[in-house]
């Protein structure tokens, strides 16, 4: 089944140089160990923070810097552009009328990156 995702989950973009942290606002009012995330927690700089520098040539700033460097790939600051919801959530678990986010969900960046969840933000504890 996997884990439901909470605020503090560790994210990684396929074109990013560093991991990032998922921020979940308390609007859903559901907590597990932190606020529970939904597929709609996809807003850049609100939910999805930058990933250090970006290496995607489809990113206009990377393309311009690479052109200026005579074709040598020049990473530039990551500015995630995520306009669609996470795919696929857990449709049988609704939080605020939206499917819950799971650790197998992915989010697409407009620059071509695939954002995955490295750590769901909660861990299974054996008692």
Quickly tell me which residue has 């678990």 as its tokens: 93
The residue ranking higher by pLDDT, 96 or 127, is: 96
Model pLDDT for residues 1-56, shown as the tens digit of each residue: 578 898 899 999 999 999 999 998 887 667 666 788 999 999 999 999 999 999 99
**pTM to 2 decimal places:** 0.88
Specify the pLDDT at position 122: 77
Where do the structural domains in the chain lie, given as residue ranges?
Answer: 10-52+82-119
Mean pLDDT of 88-110: 93
Specify the pLDDT at position 127: 45
Specify the pLDDT at position 123: 66
């Amino acid at each position: 089944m996997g884990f439901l995702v909470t605020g503090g989950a560790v994210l990684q973009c396929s074109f990013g140089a560093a991991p990032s942290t998922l921020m979940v606002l308390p609007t859903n009012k559901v907590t597990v160990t932190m606020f529970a995330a939904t597929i709609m927690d996809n807003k850049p700089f609100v939910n999805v923070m930058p990933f250090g520098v970006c290496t995607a040539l489809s990113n206009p700033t990377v393309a311009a810097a690479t052109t200026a460097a005579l074709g040598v790939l020049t990473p530039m600051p990551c500015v995630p552009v995520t306009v669609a919801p996470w795919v696929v959530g857990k449709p049988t678990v609704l939080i605020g009328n939206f499917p819950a986010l799971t650790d197998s969900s992915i989010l697409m960046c407009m620059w071509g990156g695939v954002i995955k969840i490295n750590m769901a933000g909660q861990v299974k504890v054996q008692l």
